[in-house]
Amino acid sequence: MRKFFIAFTVLGIVLQAGLARGQSFGVELMNNIMPASGGMAGASIARPQDVQSAIYGNPATMSQYQGTHFAMSGSWIEPTYNLSVGTPPPSGFNVGSFTNAKSDAQGIAAANIGLTQDFSALGMPLTVGMGLMAGAGAGVDFRHVPASNGTHTSLVALDIGTGAALQVTDRLSAGATLSLTSCTMDGPFVDITGSSSDYALRTSVGLNYDLGADTSLGTYWKSQAKYTFENAVAFPLDPTTYFDVKADRPEILGLGIANSTLLDGRLLLALDAVYQMYTESAMFGAIFHDQWALQLGAQYTVSDKIHVRAGYAWNENPMRDLVGSGLGGVLPPGGINHVEYIQALFAAIPQHRITAGVSAKDVLPGVDLDFFAGGMFEATETFGVTTASLKGYWLGTGLTWHFGRGAAECGSWK
């Protein structure tokens, strides 16, 4: 009871957290800030090393967690986002020229919480899981720059999911999750905008297979999340008429492999390939094309109680070379000029990230502690006459409580 009291006290605090653009691929955070996967560049599709990654990534891998596990983590994301608008400035929406302005959007905390329970004690090869996850985030604020005409935008999504994994055979497991996702958007049009929220359902299904020789293969599919932000924007020609803005988070496919044969089984290597289908997504399909990301992670067992981790991630630059005159079902003043300017506000352009982490088992009886940190190398790109540059770092920690069989048998210590 004492453990649960501590856990839910901290839970009440971290639920106040949001998130900011940092190490996301496009706008999706995926498993990049989970307590163990965060130290392995997010690699977690075949053999996740924390409860949250199993629930939120490939749901079939929840079957790797025996007993009861409760885990929570928090991270700090600190991006540096600079914007310059050339001369002459884009026409049609009253933005002037300015140089190397830094976004005032603050670095923000992000929380991820997960719970799994298996039913093998009842003779059922079933594991269920629930999670409260930081799903997506992006945001900039240039309202302190007069020439920006109040430029700002933010997108924050929180996903509440529940799912189950079934051990179909000794080697094959299958799983699925259903998430209720709540998303709030402010901006991004440079006119009369306000904050608007919407809800959506999102599903994911996955498979995991033990190939033998300490090698696992996993795959999953995650559906779109479709939002309509009602009465989100009005324009000066008719400031009394507000328009709805449609925005979708993308459909995602993932494939991962993990192996732990090297160094007498003390070294785990994991490689994930993730494909995000932005092209068919409202709003983001107008500024992003489909994107591949590769995540390579390693975990070395120093002792029965200590693991160290490292990772590297690369992703395609998703930004479109050519954009149209509309965005999210809205035709803004300035047409293509306005859309290019908004594209610069969502410039998910960094392609290289490195991470590191460490885990300690039984810092208290049945309690594990994780730390992780990462950095995103700076990238710069020009959209029309607007140039954006972005870099950032993040760090975080997590606690996992193991109960029953889970105190001795869990995915991260196999």
pLDDT tens-digit map of 46-66: 999 999 999 999 999 999 999
Could you tell me the two tokens for 133?
């996850």
pLDDT of residue 22: 52
Alpha carbon dihedral 347, 350, 351, 353, in 10-degree steps, equals: -140
Q: Report how many domains make up the chain.
A: 1
Residue 8: how many other CB atoms lie within 10 Å: 11
| pLDDT in single tens digits along all 414 residues of the chain | 334 333 333 333 333 333 444 557 888 888 999 999 999 999 999 999 999 999 999 999 999 999 999 999 999 998 999 999 999 999 888 899 999 999 998 877 889 999 999 998 899 999 999 999 988 877 899 999 999 999 999 888 999 999 999 999 999 999 999 999 999 999 888 877 778 999 999 999 999 999 988 999 999 999 999 999 999 898 888 888 899 999 999 999 999 999 999 999 999 999 999 999 999 999 999 999 999 999 999 999 999 999 999 999 999 999 999 999 999 999 999 899 999 999 999 999 999 999 999 999 999 999 999 999 999 999 999 999 999 999 999 999 999 999 875 444 455 444
pLDDT in tens, 334-373: 899 999 999 999 999 999 999 999 999 999 999 999 999 9
Bridge partners for 225 per DSSP: 249
What are the residues whose beta carbons fall under 8 Å from the beta carbon of 48, sequence distance 6 or more?
31, 34, 36, 37, 54, 57, 58, 61, 64, 411
Question: What SS3 string covers the chain?
Answer: CHHHHHHHHHHHHHCCCCCCCCCCECCECCCCCCCCHHHHCCCCCCCCCCHHHHHHCCHHHHHHCCCEEEEEEEEEEEEEEEEEECCCCCCCCCCCCEEEEECCCCCEEEEEEEEEEECHHHCCCEEEEEEEEEEEEEEEECCCCHHHCCCEEEEEEEEEEEEEEEECCCCEEEEEEEEEEEEEEECCCCCEECCEEEEEEEEEEEEEEEEECCEEEEEEEECCEEEEEEEEEEECCEEEEEEEEEEEECEEEEEEEEEEEHHHHCEEEEEEEEEEECCCCCCHHHHECCEEEEEEEEEEECCCCEEEEEEEEEECCCECCCCCCCECCECCCCCHHHHHHHHHHCCCCCCEEEEEEEEEEEEECCEEEEEEEEEEEEEEEEECCEEEEEEEEEEEEEEEEEEHHHHCCCHHHC
Report how far Cα 214 is from the mean position of its chain's Cα atoms: 28
Q: Residue 103: give its domain's CATH number.
A: 2.40.160.60
- Rounded CA-CA distance 136/27 in Å is 5
pLDDT in tens, 182-195: 999 998 888 777 78
pLDDT of residue 11: 38
Closest CA relative to residue 109, chosen from 6, 16, 7, 26: 16
What are the residues whose beta carbons fall under 8 Å from the beta carbon of 185, sequence distance 6 or more?
153, 154, 155, 195, 196, 197, 227, 229, 232, 245, 247
Please tell me whether the overall predicted TM-score, pTM, comes out greater than 0.85 for this model: yes
Report how far Cα 180 is from the mean position of its chain's Cα atoms: 16
pLDDT of residue 405: 57
Domain span holding position 187: 2-413
What are the residues whose beta carbons fall under 8 Å from the beta carbon of 397, sequence distance 6 or more?
35, 73, 74, 75, 369, 370, 371, 372
